Amino acid sequence: MDKKKVIIVEDMDLVRSGIRMVVESYLPDYCVSGEARTGDEFFRLLESAGADMVLLDIGLKGMNGIEIARRLKKERPQIKILAVSADNTPSTVEEMLGIGIEGYIGKMENDNQNLVEAIRAVEQGYEYFGRDISAVISRIYVAKKKNAEVTHEFTSQEKKIIELCHEGLSAKLIADRMDIASKTVNWHKSNIFRKLGINSTLELVRFGLTKGIIIVEK
């Protein structure tokens, strides 16, 4: 049975070797197909070594983890991304979730058990967020809810998604139309649902029609 391939993208040698040790010691069905210190090095390595999953730091010199994740999800969306980073600021977390990564854990909580648990969860198709990251996500949602109580303002991407929902398109087809990842579409839809306090696409379309976001030609 072929082992699943992991590439570690991390500029600190000690951290990178520690992650390699965890993968090699606790995940017998995985192998580290390569290590990279920069984004350019990673994409060159990806061409030759291949990967099923990338363990990605954010604070890299040159091309940072956000730029790497955005490019990777556009070019090879089948590769799963688990961010392992000390950067847990709300803006970074929200941007990474919007890109459509599968998991995110903080370096402070990156012990052997948590990393193995995160890799296994992502492998099985689940999203995995460490305790620190989950707390940040909760703060983001609370802030968005408070803003929604004041106004129902939408970004241009959100308005476009509302319009395409009216056409009955799936998340994948909306993603193809807008040239973004399917997970990004779902992330935006979840944000819209939270803003409006609704639970279905049908309610979303009704809102769009009522507020003039969706224009039906007569």
Write out pLDDT tens, residues 56-104.
999 999 999 999 999 999 999 999 999 999 998 888 988 898 898 999 9
Handedness of CA 144, 147, 152, 156 (dihedral sign): negative
* CA 127 distance to own-chain centroid: 9
Q: What is the mean pLDDT of residues 7-32?
A: 95
pLDDT band, very low/low/confident/very high, at 35 (cuts 50, 70, 90): very high
Distance spanning both ends of the chain, measured CA to CA: 59
Tell me the DSSP string of 89-128.
-HHHHHHHHHHT-SEEEEGGG--HHHHHHHHHHHHTT--E
Flag whether pLDDT at 124 surpasses 60.
Answer: yes
Tell me the pLDDT of the chain averaged across its residues: 87
Domain(s) of CATH 3.40.50.2300: residues in the chain? 4-132
Which uninterrupted H or E stretch holds 177?
helix 171-178
Write out pLDDT tens, residues 161-218.
988 988 888 888 999 999 888 888 988 888 888 878 787 888 888 888 877 777 765 4
Angle of helix 39-49 relative to helix 65-75, nearest 10 degrees, comes to: 30
Flag whether pLDDT at 40 surpasses 90.
Answer: yes
| DSSP symbol at 68 | H
Beginning with the edge strand found earlier in the chain, give each strand of the sheet holding 4-9 in spatial order.
30-36, 4-9, 53-56, 80-85, 103-106, 128-129
Write the burial class of residue 158 (CB in 10 Å: 0-12 exposed, 13-18 middle, 19+ buried).
Answer: middle
What are the Cα distances from residue 134, in Å, to 93, 97, 130, 137, 165?
10, 12, 6, 5, 29
Flag whether pLDDT at 151 surpasses 60.
Answer: no
Domain(s) of CATH 1.10.10.10: residues in the chain? 144-210
Model pLDDT, residue 48? 93
Q: Identify the top-confidence range among 39-48, 130-139, 142-151, 188-197.
A: 39-48
Flag whether pLDDT at 108 surpasses 50.
Answer: yes
What are the Cα distances from residue 193, in Å, to 17, 36, 72?
42, 39, 27
The position carrying tokens 């604070």 is 59
pLDDT band, very low/low/confident/very high, at 158 (cuts 50, 70, 90): confident
Instruction: Look at domain 144-210 and name its CATH class.
Output: mainly alpha
CATH 3.30.565.10 is held by the domain 4-132 = no
Write out pLDDT tens, residues 81-90.
999 999 988 8
Model pLDDT, residue 107? 81
50 vs 217, residue with greater confidence: 50
28 vs 192, residue with greater confidence: 28
Flag whether pLDDT at 148 surpasses 60.
Answer: no
